[in-house]
Amino acid sequence: MSDKTIDSIIEKYRGQPGSVIHALVEIQHENHWLPRDVIHRVADALEVPFAQVMQIASFYKAFSLTPKGRHEVHVCTGMTCHLRGAPKLQAKVEELTGLKDGETDADSRFTFETGACLGSCSIGPELIVDGKHYGRMTPEKVADVLKRYE
Amino acid sequence: MPKFQSAAELEKFRAEILSSRDPAKPCIAVCAGAACAGMDSAAVAAAFLAALDQQKLGDKLEVRTTGCHGYCEKGPNVVITPGDICYFEVQPTDVSEIIAAALKGEVVDRLVYKDPGTGAKAVHMSEVPFYKHQMRLLMGDNPKIDPMRIDDYLAVGGYAALVKALTEMTPDQVLDEVKKANLRGRGGGGFPAGSKWETTKKAPEKTKYVIVNGHEGESAAFMDRAMLTGNPHKILEGLIIGAYAIGAQKGFMYTRHDMPLLEKHVRNALLQAKEYGLLGENILGSGFAFECELHFDVGIFVSGESSALMRSIEGHAPEPRPKYIRTSVSGIWDKPSNLNNVETWANVPQIISKGAEWFTSIGSERSKGTKLISLSGNVVNSGIVEVPMGTPLRTLAFDIGGGVRDGKTLKAIHFGGAMGGSIPADLIDAPLDFDGMSKLGAPIGAGGLLLMDEDTDMVEVARYLLDFLVNESCGKCAPCREGMPQMLHILTNMTEGKGKAGDLERLEDLAEVTGAASLCALGKTSADPLKSMFRYFKPEYEARIVNVAGGSDAK
């Protein structure tokens, strides 16, 4: 994402200390992670101490302080997915990507994360890549899905 | 866009909408709920719209993308009105056949419900087993509404309760009606909403807030999202009525950041309500003014806790605070803040429209109305179910849910997510009731009901739930931050065959202290699943210890 987009998000909330979370959410959505200098700019513009912005950015799971891969791979580990075989699905994804929960590979192809619960329990266990749901997944089908994302 | 200056203008507009619509004109409602969307119902809806365009059928047929219909297991769901003909697992290739049949008033036989046992078919919603045992007071409108169109909500009688409250009732009368209805909070506690409203109303501060808690962090609970995404105006109407009763000037909707469709629908609903004059200054000429803002949780379970949620709205990290003073007296920016769950707010319009007497005629003695249940786990028919309070769990699990998957037997029923509890299959005739279920050790919580089959390892379930909570704890208070990982450590050992003598006693100890000394409900109830396990499934836990001591191979 260009600096211009980030700046325009920050400008929207300039001088509004109550809007730290809103600003960070928008930047995270656009940029997929929060670089340190961006957090500094948010702190300056919204007139909030850097440490306080950092507290929020490091507290919430939706914010990432490290760059993400080109594709975000999620396995839902919610309770129904768990009962319906998510652990095996997760093991397969970890095997194929060589990544553990939260990691990104050296080529920045995939970031792998677990998370719960997305509310589509009826089609669990689920693999979600870049927001696209692959419902009723089996470990055997994982390789085929991941192949589509370079 | 009309901006209504009075109730009469709104009613006139409603009459115009209704007279412009032909109830005999076939309408195809395509579900875009979370599960159906996951099965690419968007492609089905697109195929319908393309066919409509191509065959120039715009005058003869309507296609509507709607919120969740309920029967998630069999998505993508399509319902044809008139007649409420239900088609399941619809693919884009089925579209032309469905259109042809709808125009002729016929039914596509191969897409209707077929009983897996007898093969008996059910065409209409009222005959499909999943639906016929339900009472869909809150969810029933979903297939009739395009959530992006406020006119659709007006067409099913939406905002009539607000009109009634503002024109025929004083704020005190509205409060009285909700108190008489004995509406209990649907988010987990079952606390009477009317009493909570009254506390905020009577708090001395002039500035007051009302909040919709649509955080829904409970794993395997997905009904609040379905309501907010599928019928956002119903919740907003409840909120405005509540604000009027309480005397609040501003509301907040707090919900998930990770559902793009939910965000789109709620944002749009707030804009439309403002355009129509249902939010803002002098609503419908009553003199009452109210605004509503949208806020998002950013991915942590504890921000659903009321005081943490309010910190988050203020723009801080969501750490709970001790509640010596309730948030209903001192909440957001230390102002009285009344928070209710999505489903609680959704109940308000019908209580005002139909009255407390009608509402209390539904349900059990102490739990009134219907309850939305997210039915999942090892069940045949998962989805969102709405039944009167007091309905036996057997009806939910078997008549509606169709029993356990893959022909297995039922071992346990789990309610209330990571802070709930599990009860054994032989308690299946217990009625769905706030107090009854709490006594059994499986409080309803938000309403996530899971069936667990014979293969379920109850030690592993407790470990899994605790693992979830350890990751979600905010870390502010020591009993929660330190106590839960200790319990998790012991349980993990037990699942790995390393359980040793004294483990169960230590677990009981830790459960007691964490429960007694934690700051908020997350820690306080973190050991509730474990307590229910010890009550009903202790031999399974003891076996993990004995096996190791005896040197045999524990799982």
ipTM value for the complex: 0.87
Mean pLDDT of B56-83: 95
Judgement on whether residues B340 and B376 belong to the same structural domain of the protein: no
Mean pLDDT of B507-535: 93
What is the per-residue pLDDT across B245-285, written as a single tens digit (0 to 9) for each? Answer: 999 999 999 998 888 899 999 999 999 999 999 999 999 99
Residue B220's pLDDT is what? 87
**Closest CB to A120 among B35, B298, B315:** B35
What is the per-residue pLDDT across B174-210, written as a single tens digit (0 to 9) for each? Answer: 999 999 999 999 988 899 999 999 999 999 999 999 9
Q: Token pair 């909120």 is at which residue?
A: B239
Interface touch B464/A79, C-beta < 8 Å = yes
> In whole angstroms, what is the distance from residue B427 CA to residue B123 CA?
33
For residue A64, is it within any domain? Answer: no
Write the CATH number for A39. 1.10.10
**Within the 320-379 window of chain B, which residues sit less than 8 Å (CB to CB) from chain A?**
374, 376-378
User: What total of structural domains would you count in chain B?
Assistant: 4
B161 touches chain A (CB under 8 A): no
**In this prediction, what percent of chain B has a pLDDT beyond 90?**
86
Which of B34-38, B47-51, B227-231, B297-301 is least confident?
A: B297-301
Minimal C-alpha gap between A133 and chain B (Å): 5
Which of B219, B411, B422, B468 is most worth mutating to test chain A (most A CB atoms within 10 A of its CB)? B219
Interface touch A79/B34, C-beta < 8 Å = no
For residue B132, is it within any domain? Answer: no
Torsion of Cα atoms, B103 then B104 then B110 then B114, to 10°? 100
Residue A35's pLDDT is what? 95
Write the CATH number for B498. 1.20.1440.230
Judgement on whether residues A76 and A55 belong to the same structural domain of the protein: no
Q: What are the beta bridge partners of residue B339?
A: B211
Judgement on whether residues A55 and A100 belong to the same structural domain of the protein: no
Q: What is the average pLDDT value for chain A, to the nearest integer?
A: 92
For residue A66, is it within any domain? Answer: no
User: What total of structural domains would you count in chain A?
Assistant: 2
Judgement on whether residues B175 and B311 belong to the same structural domain of the protein: yes
**Closest CB to B257 among A55, A62, A84:** A62
Contacts of A55 in chain B (CB under 8 A): 317
Burial B341-350 (b: 16+ CB within 10 A, else e): bbbbbbbbbb
Q: What is the average pLDDT value for chain B, to the nearest integer?
A: 93
Q: Of the candidates B189, B260, B229, which has an alpha carbon nearest to the alpha carbon of residue B68?
A: B229
Instruction: Give the tokens for residue B293.
Output: 């803002």
Residue B555's pLDDT is what? 43
Mean pLDDT of B374-378: 95
Asked if the model's pLDDT at residue B552 lies above 50, the reply is: no
Mean pLDDT of A73-81: 92
Interface touch B318/A17, C-beta < 8 Å = no
Domain that holds residue B448: 364-424+443-456
- Domain end marker among B125, B149, B183: B125
Contacts of B481 in chain A (CB under 8 A): none
Which of A121, A126, A130 is most worth mutating to test chain B (most B CB atoms within 10 A of its CB)? A121
**Closest CB to A83 among B218, B450, B468:** B450
Interface touch B298/A63, C-beta < 8 Å = yes
For residue A91, is it within any domain? Answer: yes
What is the per-residue pLDDT across B419-436, written as a single tens digit (0 to 9) for each? Answer: 899 999 999 999 999 999
Domain that holds residue A87: 71-147
Asked if the model's pLDDT at residue B551 lies above 80, the reply is: no
B384 touches chain A (CB under 8 A): no
Instruction: Give the tokens for residue B298.
Output: 């950013």
Residue A2's pLDDT is what? 67
Q: Of the candidates B385, B375, B471, which has an alpha carbon nearest to the alpha carbon of residue B414?
A: B375
DSSP per-residue string spanning B376-409: EESBSS-EEEEEETT-BHHIIIIIIT-SBGGGPP
For residue A99, is it within any domain? Answer: yes
> In whole angstroms, what is the distance from residue B20 CA to residue B81 CA?
17
Judgement on whether residues B353 and B372 belong to the same structural domain of the protein: no
Mean pLDDT of B495-501: 93
Are residues B320 and B305 in contact, defined by beta-carbon separation less than 8 angstroms?
A: yes
Write the CATH number for B418. 3.10.20.600
For residue B532, is it within any domain? Answer: yes
Residue B316's pLDDT is what? 83
Judgement on whether residues B237 and B298 belong to the same structural domain of the protein: yes
What is the per-residue pLDDT across B288-322, written as a single tens digit (0 to 9) for each? Answer: 999 999 998 876 777 788 888 998 898 888 888 88
Residue B55's pLDDT is what? 93
Residue A118 pLDDT class (50, 70, 90 cuts): confident
> In whole angstroms, what is the distance from residue B380 CA to residue A86 CA?
18
Query: Is the four-CA dihedral B284, B290, B296, B297 of positive or negative sign?
Result: negative
